[in-house]
Amino acid sequence: MPALEYDTLSLTDAVIGRLAECQDPRFKAVMTSLIKHLHQFARDVDLKAPEWFAAIEFLTACGKACDDKRQEFILLSDTLGLSMLVVALEHARALQGRQGATPPTDATVQGPFYWEGAPDVALGSDIAQGIPGEPALYSGRVTDLEGKPLEGALLDVWSGDGEGVYDMQRADGGMRARARIRTDHEGRYWFWSIRPTFYPVPDDGPVGVMLRKMGRHPNRPGHIHMKVSAPGHHMVTTHLFVKDSPYLDSDAVFGVRDSLVVDFEKCAPGVAMDGTKQDKPYHVAHYDFRLIPEGA
Ligand code: BEZ
Ligand code: FE
């Protein structure tokens, strides 16, 4: 007769054994590993019953904090570095077999403030629409890995304002500092917005409690988000980080990549590179995006 009871080690194999009839090989592999690591974690820390219950209460609170605007579990994943790990694994997969080639633009986390359906605007538009912040001219090119310009590539852009607040977080709720912009025949893009500043991830919920208990701050360095895509190429979801921003070395969600840190050069009032007359000081940020061809 098989054993009816298990000890602290044999229990793990018994639980994994119950997957014997599972028909989905990938799900079976993922669940087997999850059970193995979860059990080993409990043994490693010699998990106490009250601690286990506190964890259940914490996850319950995360669930209760979620609604159609807030996703506390993604925030949990972000602040534990899991989201960035998944981004890095995806990126490495897309790069397989391309070692030694010119590197593509690095990906980073999407975050919770993406809003589908931003307006399509012409090259050179000011997407800031009066939000607080110092003006910044963003420009560069979108190319493939050989440097060939990609005409009609789409930049879907969003950022917080110069006070570290996203439009979604303001009471009036209208879209601001968001746009979809397409590159010209030479793969060039340029548009005006503001230089974004650092801000805290939403920390008024259970994840905020966890961060404080860990002795961590909730801040992200100043950045602008972009989803850059072109037919026949992998889309990259990324940011450009402001070079002299606080928290570059301690981003609460581990999203910083050296290659994405950009100089926001300060310029005196005058005629800017795009020929517009600026009566206030402004910044210029230049970045060329490189996309990975599909199926290469
Ligand atoms: C953001 O950059 O918008 C963000 C990313 C992860 C968590 C919270 C905010
Ligand atoms: Fe952000």
pLDDT at 168: 86
> Domain ranges in the chain?
6-47, 72-291
Q: Is the pLDDT of residue 3 over 80?
A: no
Q: Is the pLDDT of residue 296 over 70?
A: no
Q: Is the pLDDT of residue 241 over 70?
A: yes
Q: Decide which of 2.60.130.10, 3.40.718.10, 1.10.3720.10, 3.20.20.120 is the CATH code for 72-291.
A: 2.60.130.10
Question: Smallest Cα–Cα separation from 109: which of 248, 223, 274?
Answer: 223
When pLDDT is averaged across residues 121-129 and rounded to a whole number, the result is 96
Interacting residues of 62 by C-beta distance below 8 A, sequence separation 6+: 72, 73, 76, 205, 206, 207
Is residue 43 classed as helix, strand or coil in its secondary structure? helix
Kindly give the distance from the C-alpha atom of residue 227 to the centroid of ligand 1, in angstroms, as a whole number. Answer: 14
Q: What is the pLDDT of residues 145-191, one digit of tens each?
A: 999 999 999 999 999 999 999 988 888 778 999 999 999 999 999 99
Q: What is the mean pLDDT of the chain?
A: 95
Chain-centroid distance, C-alpha 79: 11
When pLDDT is averaged across residues 60-74 and rounded to a whole number, the result is 93
Is residue 141 classed as helix, strand or coil in its secondary structure? strand
Which residue among 87, 211, 220 is best mutated to probe the pocket of ligand 1, counting the most ligand atoms within 8 A of its Cβ?
A: 220
Q: Is the pLDDT of residue 266 over 80?
A: yes
Residues with CB under 6 A from ligand 1: 75, 78, 109, 111-113, 201, 220, 253
Question: How confident is residue 94, by pLDDT bands cut at 50, 70 and 90?
Answer: confident
Q: Is the pLDDT of residue 97 over 80?
A: no
